[in-house]
Structure 1
Amino acid sequence: MAAPPPSSPSPPPAAAAAATQQTQPQPQPQTPFYELVKGNSGLEKVLLRGTRGFSAEVYLYGAQVTSWKNDHAEELLFVSSKAIFKPPKAIRGGIPICFPQFGTHGNLEQHGFARNRLWTIDDNPPPLPVNPAIKSFVDLILRPSDEDLKIWPHSFEFRLRVALGPNGDLSLTSRIRNTNTDGRSFSYTFAYHTYFSVSDISEVRVEGLETMDYLDNLKGKERFTEQGDAIVFESEIDKVYLAAPSKIAIIDHEKKRTFVLTKEGLPDAVVWNPWDKKAKAMQDFGDGEYKHMLCVEPAAVEKPITLKPGEEWKGRLALSAVPSSYCSGQLDPLKVLQG
C-alpha cells in the first residue's frame, strides 16, 4: 500500500496573516480633494477641483466662496474688480455669509461679523450626510473671539461645508450650534449673500417668486405682493421675499443660461441690485458693474432663528447652472422649478 504524499508544511501564523494582507486591498482614508494656496493680499484660500474642469475657490477670510467655474472655465459668480481683499473689509462679491445678522441693527456691523473673520479648516467635523460621488469639499469652522463676545455675547460653533458636485453643482451647508454654558438662548438672522454673474441685468428674469409677499427695503420695509409673472430689472431693487419656495431660477437670456438655486432651512429670499447711483457711491464696486451682477440670497430675515443651548440649526444652499434656450418667447427649462 503506497504511502500518502507528504503534506505541505503550514505557514506560521504571522506569515499567513501577511499573505492575507497582501491579497486583500486595504481601505484608503477618505480625504477631501482640496488645495490650500495663497490668494489676493496673501490671504489663504482653498481650491476645489471637480471632474471635467469644474472648480471653486473659498477664502478662509470670511469662509467666502469667490469663484465657481463650469467645465468651460466660465466664471459663474460675480466679484467686483474693485473688491478689497484686506481685513476688516468684507470681500465684495462671491458668496458672503451674513451672520449673526442680515442688515443693520444694534451695535453689530452691517450683515454681522462672520464674513470678515478668519475661519479655520475643520479637520474633524461631526458626521454630515454627503453624496458619495462628491469628492471635492472642505469643512471650515468659526468660533467667537473675546472681541466678538464683547459685541455679541453668545458662544457658538459655526461649521460650514463647501462642496463641488460631480456635475459642477456647488453647495454650502451651514451648521450653527449654541454652545452657551449659562443656559441662555440666542437669536440671529442669516443670509447667503450670493452674487451671480450675468451678461446684462436688463436681460435677466427671476422665476419662482411670483405672487410672493415681500418687504421693500427701498420703501421703509413696507409689505407688498409681487404682481408680475417674473421679476425683471429696470432700476434699483432691494426686496426680501417671504416664505419663498425652495427653488428659484435666474434666467440669463443673452447667455442662454439658467441658474437654479435650491435652499433648505432658509424661508426667505433677498433680491438686490444697487443700480447706477448706488454703484457709484460704493468704494469697492465699479460704476458700471451693476449691469453684470444680481444678488439672489437664501435668507432668514423676517423671523429670526432661535437656538437653545446645545441646539443646532442647519441651512443649505445648492447652485447649478443649466443651458436654456428660447421657445416661443419663453425659456423652456422653467420646469426645473418643479423638478
Structure 2
Amino acid sequence: MGRWNADVEAAAATRERKIDEAHERLADAVEAMAADGGFRRAIEFAARFRTRSFNNCVLIAVQHAEAFEAGRVPTPQPTYVAGYRQWQRLGRQVTKGQSGYVILAPLTARYATDNPAVGPWRLLTRGEQPAPGEVVRARLKGTKPAYVWDVSQTEGDPIPEPPMPQLLEGAAPAGLWDGLASQVVDDGFALLSVPTAAGIGGANGQTDFLARTVTVRGDLDDAARVKTLAHELGHVRLHAPDAADAQAHRGVIEVEAETIALMIGAAHGMDTSTFSVPYVTSWASTVRDKSVFDVVTSTAERARKAAVAVLDRLETRQIGDGEPPGLGAARGDPPRTREAPRSARRAASSRSTAVTR
C-alpha cells in the first residue's frame, strides 16, 4: 500500500508539473503576442484549428514551431492534429521518437445530491455509487495534461484531402452572404443597405440594438460586404447593451467582432490580410483590473466560440478544422478562460445602443 501511495503521489506531482509548464508556455506566448502583433497570427491559426480552445491552439502552435526548428517535423505549420488513439483509429501510428504536444484537457468529477435545485452536492469517490434517489452530475474540477500529434509525426494510411475553397480577388464565398444574412434575421434584426458610407456616419456597417437593424454599405465589393456582415453579426451575438457577457471596453468590443469576422472569413479561404485586428498593446492594456493575459485569452476564446456557432449553422464549403477527416468531434479542450466581471461588462455595454465600424 505504501508503494502504491508513493506511485500515486509521484504521478500527481508529474501531472501538476506538466500543467505548470503548459501555463508558463502559454503565458510566454501571449506576452510575445503583445510585443510583435502576434494576436492576428494566433487567430488565423485558431481559425484552422477552431474545434480546439484558443489556449490549446496557442500551445499547439508554439510546440509545433519548436519541433520544426529542431528538425522533428517537415513544415512550420501543423496540418491535422489528434490524440494517440485517435490516429490509431484512422490506421496511423505515431512515429517512434516523436513527442506529443501538451494541451490542457478538462478534469471532471462526479457530484451527487438528493435535491438538485438547492443542493448540497457531495463529491463521489472513484467507483462510489450514488444513494437511492440521488441525482449525479459531472462538474469541472480542473485541468490535466493531454497530448496530440500532427499528421507529419505519424505514418500509415493516407489521409483523404477534402477540396479547398478557391476565391477570386474581391469575390465572396458562395452562399456566405445569404447564410450570414439568415442568421442576422433569425436573431431578430432587419438587414438594411445604404448606397455609401455617408448613410451610416462613414462606417462600413452598423448594428443598432435599439432599432434592431444591421446596415451594410452597398458600394463595397462582395468580399468586403460579406466581411462587414460577419463583423456586425459578431456584435449581434456578443454586444447587446443588456447582455450579461457584453465586454467592458469599446476597443475589446471591436476586436471581438473583427476576430469573429476573421475566423469566419479564414474558414472560407478568404484573404485575412484585409481584416483590421489591432495590436494587443492598443486594446488589452486599456482594460482596468485585468491582466493582458486574461484579456487576450478571454477575448479570443469568446470570439472563437461565437465564430464556431455561426460556422456550424452555415451550409457553405469551408476549410478543415484541424482534425483529420473522418475523426469526428475534437476532445480534450477545457472551457473558456475566465472573463471580466459581468457587472463591469454590463456597465460599459449600456453606454450606446449602436455599434459601427
Superposed pair shares fold, TM > 0.5: no
TM-score interval for Structure 1 and Structure 2 normalised by the shorter chain:
under 0.3
Q: Which has the higher contact order (CA 8 A, sep 6+)?
A: 2
With normalisation by structure 2, the TM-score equals: 0.24
Larger strand share, 1 or 2: 1
With normalisation by structure 1, the TM-score equals: 0.25
Larger Rg, first or second structure (1 or 2): 1
